Amino acid sequence: MKYSQATDYALHAMLYLVAEAPNKPVSVQLLAEKLGVSQTYLSKMLTKLVKAGLIHSVSGANGGYKLKRNQDDISFLDVIQAIEGTTSLFECSFHHDSACLIQQVVADAEQQMMHTLKSKKIADLVAHIPKQPHERLT
Amino acid sequence: MKYSQATDYALHAMLYLVAEAPNKPVSVQLLAEKLGVSQTYLSKMLTKLVKAGLIHSVSGANGGYKLKRNQDDISFLDVIQAIEGTTSLFECSFHHDSACLIQQVVADAEQQMMHTLKSKKIADLVAHIPKQPHERLT
DNA sequence: ACCATTACAGACCCATAATATCTTCAATAG
DNA sequence: CTATTGAAGATATTATGGGTCTGTAATGGT
């Protein structure tokens, strides 16, 4: 049970966008190059981030991806849920007459993790990064 | 990203063992019947629980599975890790020169969930269950 | 008006893991 | 000795993840 690698890509791509925060959009090609992954696959993740409303896409020449205005409010949870979905970690498959106690316990624990991931913003990491070489961001 | 159904089976099986806590071992057949799942598949989960040291098996006629002496100290985390393994939820696949900041954040959040799951014992649920019909335990 | 660039959508492929069954073997109570 | 029961391994089936390829639509530059 692990988060998919796609989430890894998405988080790092978002960190790049937040850290570099250029006005002009960043193309998939450039992002894929910086991260060292394939363009086509990364583009799927970015499309998911667009649909989740975290970033904004510009088609056509000189197009690419930009952050939305909420900039500093994008949390880890936002990105993770955009890729992994929002279904809960554990779902009881048995037929109970009342709610499953086991599920309640696990769901409660998951809630705590989600709370942490929600309070932690991508932008929080930027401060810790020396503003020079791009390689450190990948 | 979800816990496997196998974890669901294992947790419910453990709850049954803890709640009914009989001195004589419980056979896979009975457990599978109570849970409404196949014997053969459930038996694999039970074997994992044995290897994790949570329960004890008795071969031969009138055999089955018993709890180990630690009875009340079996946590949700114990069971989940016995089935899912102990690899961490998130592992950065990129090449950083120093530790990945993203990974640190997610790992920290995961730790909080694990802490909750570790403090919560299977036996904690038993008190809430009326001591009569077995069906409520499934 | 045309063309190069770019995001987007869908079909498709492959490897791995999850779910589940069957068969065989080993242990053991009676 | 025999019926019962857990352990282990082989196999089959499906789902999911990871990834490519192709075509389409949008758009800026010339």
Average pLDDT value for chain A: 90
The pLDDT, as a whole number, for residue A131 is 54
Which nt is closest to the CA of B27, judged by C1'? Answer: D5
Give the model's confidence band at A127: pLDDT under 50 very low, under 70 low, under 90 confident, else very high.
confident
Task: Please give the Cα distance from B16 to B65 (Å, whole number).
Answer: 11
Asked if the Cβ of residue B4 lies within 7 A of any atom of strand C, the reply is yes
| Minimum-distance CB partner of A108 among B12, B93, B116 | B116
The pLDDT, as a whole number, for residue A27 is 96
* Mean pLDDT to the nearest integer, A1-8: 95
B120's CB contacts (< 8 A; 6+ apart) are A105, A109, B75, B76
The strand pairing partners of B57, in sequence order, are B65
The 3-state secondary structure of B61-106 reads: CCCEEEECCCHHHCEHHHHHHHHHCCCCCCCCCCCCCCCCHHHHHH
Q: What is the pTM of this model?
A: 0.90
Nearest CA in chain A to B95: A138
The pLDDT, as a whole number, for residue B56 is 95
Task: Please give the Cα distance from B25 to B85 (Å, whole number).
Answer: 26
- For each successive 10 residues of chain B (138 residues), what is the average pLDDT? 96 94 87 94 97 95 90 93 96 90 97 97 80 52
- Give chain B positions within 8 Å (CB) of A102: 8, 11-12, 15, 76, 125
Burial (Cβ within 10 Å: 0-12, 13-18, ≥19) of residue A112: middle
> CATH number of A5-127: 3.40.50.300, 3.60.15.10, 3.90.1150.10, 1.10.10.10?
1.10.10.10
Collapsed DSSP state (helix, strand, coil) of residue A113: helix
Cβ atoms within 10 Å of B1's Cβ, excluding its own: 15
Give the model's confidence band at A24: pLDDT under 50 very low, under 70 low, under 90 confident, else very high.
confident
Closest Cα partner for A86 from A99, A77, A97? A77
Q: On chain D, which bases lie within 7 A of the protein's CB atoms?
A: 3-9, 17-22, 25-29
The answer to whether residues A63 and A57 touch, using CB atoms and an 8 Å cutoff, is yes
Question: DSSP label at A66?
Answer: E
The residue assigned the tokens 């019909």 is B133
B51's CB contacts (< 8 A; 6+ apart) are B82
Nearest CA in chain A to B35: A94
Q: What tokens does B74 get?
A: 């079996």
pLDDT digits (tens, 9 = 90+) for A83-124: 999 999 999 999 888 899 999 999 999 999 999 999 999 999
Reply yes or no on whether the pLDDT at A50 is more than 60.
yes
